[in-house]
Amino acid sequence: MTKTNFEVRQWAFSYLNQADVDLLLMGLNDWTYSQLILHLRDECQNWPIFEAYVRRARNDEPIQYILKQAHFYDRFFYVDQRVLIPRMETEELIEWVLADNQQSHQKVLDLGTGSGAIAITLKCEQPSWQVTASDISKDAIAVAKQNSTSLKANVDFIVSDVFNNIDDKYDLIISNPPYIADTEITVMDQTVLKYEPHLALFAPNHGLAIYQQIALNLKDHLLTNGTAYFEIGYQQGPQIIAIFKKALPDATVSLQKDMAGNDRMIKVGV
């Protein structure tokens, strides 16, 4: 028996929240929200696939991995379990970098690029910038390269553990490194814990280890008057400021809150 999109949507509401149901229907049919509403009385063309998607989402799989796409700064990025799903907070980091740096040419490094969200967005927003993206994970670099090609971004890629394979210096270094402490595993959402790569989430030393590694060699990789921008955990501001102040006593370090009012980003100028 055939079902309308309205009926399958109502059925899915018994298991998932409305936002997730609508994202699945829109992603599956390549519809905008207005198109979804317009097609509600039509026959559902993809019922078996939609039913399977809802089953996967009920098993905590993130909608973005089911659909193999994540919306970030007005673009769709391919994502799968090899990379972190880019978050809204990271869009605010992009906003800060773009607002601060209007100059036509900037040489930029995105350290820990994952899906390539930061590097590719900056290159698309500022095509004259020379952008390099690095990650310790070869799998992540493969996904980021795929996104760079599909979004016509022309970003360069390097597989590197922090700065180990990076010789160059940059005007801007941007990083959203893994910053969750192992001890937080017990309070984390199952959707994140079961599906997102732990290499992208967790770092030793209470989540501070990658900032510590970056701080030790940051000056060697920034050009004169260069600046670094980092996303941070909302409770990590004081510790991370202390890490950079200790490694770089002459640097200026400033903290920025996100839209929710939480400490979320820092800027380090050398």
Ligand X SMILES: C[S@@+](CC[C@H](N)C(=O)[O-])C[C@H]1O[C@@H](n2cnc3c(N)ncnc32)[C@H](O)[C@@H]1O
Residues in contact with ligand X by CB under 6 A are 84, 86, 90, 112-115, 117-118, 135-137, 140, 161-162, 176-178, 199-200, 210
Which run of H or E residues covers position 205?
helix 204-207
Amino acid occupying residue 128: S
Minimum Å gap between C-beta 64 and ligand X is 11
Using CA atoms, how far apart are residues 244 and 227, in angstroms rounded to an integer? 12
Q: Which is nearer to ligand X, 200 or 268 (CB)?
A: 200
Using CA atoms, how far apart are residues 145 and 158, in angstroms rounded to an integer? 10
Minimum Å gap between C-beta 201 and ligand X is 7
Q: Which is nearer to ligand X, 57 or 70 (CB)?
A: 70
Q: Which is nearer to ligand X, 50 or 211 (CB)?
A: 211
Using CA atoms, how far apart are residues 82 and 64, in angstroms rounded to an integer? 12
Using CA atoms, how far apart are residues 24 and 53, in angstroms rounded to an integer? 7
114 known member of a binding site: yes
177 known member of a binding site: yes
User: Under 8 Å CB-to-CB from 258, ≥6 apart: which residues?
Assistant: 89, 92, 234, 264, 265
The DSSP bridge pattern shows strands 130-135 and 170-175 to be: unpaired
Q: Which is nearer to ligand X, 40 or 142 (CB)?
A: 142
- From the list 137, 154, 149, the residue with the least C-alpha distance to 210 is 137
115 known member of a binding site: yes
Minimum Å gap between C-beta 199 and ligand X is 5
Minimum Å gap between C-beta 153 and ligand X is 14
Minimum Å gap between C-beta 22 and ligand X is 23
Phi then psi dihedrals of residue 231, to 5 deg: -85, 145
Q: Which is nearer to ligand X, 106 or 213 (CB)?
A: 213
135 known member of a binding site: yes
Q: Which residues are annotated as a binding site for S-adenosyl-L-methionine?
A: 112-116, 135, 176
Q: Which residues are annotated as a binding site for substrate?
A: 176-179
